[in-house]
Amino acid sequence: MTTSVTSLIKKITLVFLIISGLYFAKDFLIPLCIGGILATLFLPFCNWMEKKKLPKGLAVFICFLGLLLLLFMLVSLLGYKISELINDIAVLKQKAIEISTQLQSYIFNHFNISIDEQYTILKNEQPSYANIIQVMIGSITSFLSSFVLLLVYFVFLLYYRNHIKNFLVKLTAKSEQAEMQKVIQKVTSISQQYLLGLSKMIFLLWIMYGIGFSVIGVENAIFFAVLCGLLEIIPFVGNITGTTLTVLVSTLHGANIEIIIGILIVYGTVQLIQGWILEPLILGPQVKINSLFTIIALVLGELLWGIPGIILAIPITAMFKIVCDYIEPLKPYGFLIGEIERSKKNVFIETLKSKLKSK
């Protein structure tokens, strides 16, 4: 009994130390993790160029330019759609003023707090402009430094990938080196599969949301379709956030109840197609973790690393699952994290896959 208790205490202490390390080293780990995951996305392209006798440095530089081009296209798309939305700021501002006036009247009638007292309370609660500017400058500086580090890690992780792989293999015993190479290859493959699958998923969601919102008459339908698709990066929370914003802005635009119900129907239909057809076909079962540990991963990611932690939670958990599946003492944890098999769903998806392949 004493031995088992001591072993349990050691495991709890180890988990606590790992979580503490992740929290206190977040400024170092966040750019490194994002840069590493993005590097795996360009790894097949980089390997292909090197097989075509291109120098490694030139191949990595072309991948770097490809990443910058991809980011530029994404920012340009969002900027263009946001500029369209800004044209309606005057209307949204007027609607917001009307709603705030109604809210002030409600507070005065039900809580007997005068308008002047409400303004005084809000003024005392609001931070000063100097503090706001200071926080904004700090945030922008932190973002830019992290972004530069991310690009640096992306380049050097691609360039030194074989060196790092050989280092990890050398850490293991000779009898286990072949298994270690399989683990590294599988983890890299899972990262690529997740990012490529997520990109395809977002593109298809743009199409479905765009068609749905346009048909029911949502203003700035394409912008909200792009927003809802991009927020798919954050499972569960992203979908709900995008749809909620669409409903709120549409309400401020004066949308009637039919349009609001239409938005919810589009959301439910897209989620049904995504969950039962797109995810099994595009992401596959190896990337999937069950809903319970998806929520746990998202909560821990937010607590430890904030918004970047939410974005990184799923791919890192999927990689951890693969490691658990290959290491004998950790296999139960991989089973616990993994998706529960659903025989009917699997039969349907396999039939659909076979039909697509035959065509």
Question: Over the stretch 225-273, which tens digit does the pLDDT of each residue have?
Answer: 888 888 877 766 777 788 888 888 787 777 788 888 888 899 889 888 8
Beta strands in the chain (DSSP E): none
**Are the beta carbons of 190 and 287 closer than 8 angstroms?**
yes
What's the N-to-C CA distance of the chain in angstroms?
A: 62
Q: How many whole angstroms separate alpha carbon 145 and alpha carbon 161? A: 23
Residue 289 has φ and ψ, to the nearest 5°, of -120, 155
Residues of the chain with pLDDT under 70: 1-5, 78, 80-102, 104, 106-136, 138-139, 235-236, 280, 283-288, 340-359
Strand partners, 289: 338
Q: How many whole angstroms separate alpha carbon 225 and alpha carbon 246? A: 9
pLDDT value, residue 329: 80
**Are the beta carbons of 175 and 261 closer than 8 angstroms?**
no
**Diameter of the chain measured on Cα atoms:** 79
pTM: 0.73
Reference 198, options 82, 328, 38; nearest CA is: 38
Close Cβ partners of 295 (under 8 Å, ≥ 6 residues apart) = 236
CB burial of residue 245 (10 Å; 0-12, 13-18, 19+):
middle
**Are the beta carbons of 157 and 164 closer than 8 angstroms?**
yes
In tens, the pLDDT along 186-223 reads 888 777 777 787 888 888 888 999 899 888 888 778 88
> Can you read off the two tokens belonging to residue 31?
């750019």
Q: What is the DSSP letter of 114?
A: -
pLDDT value, residue 157: 92
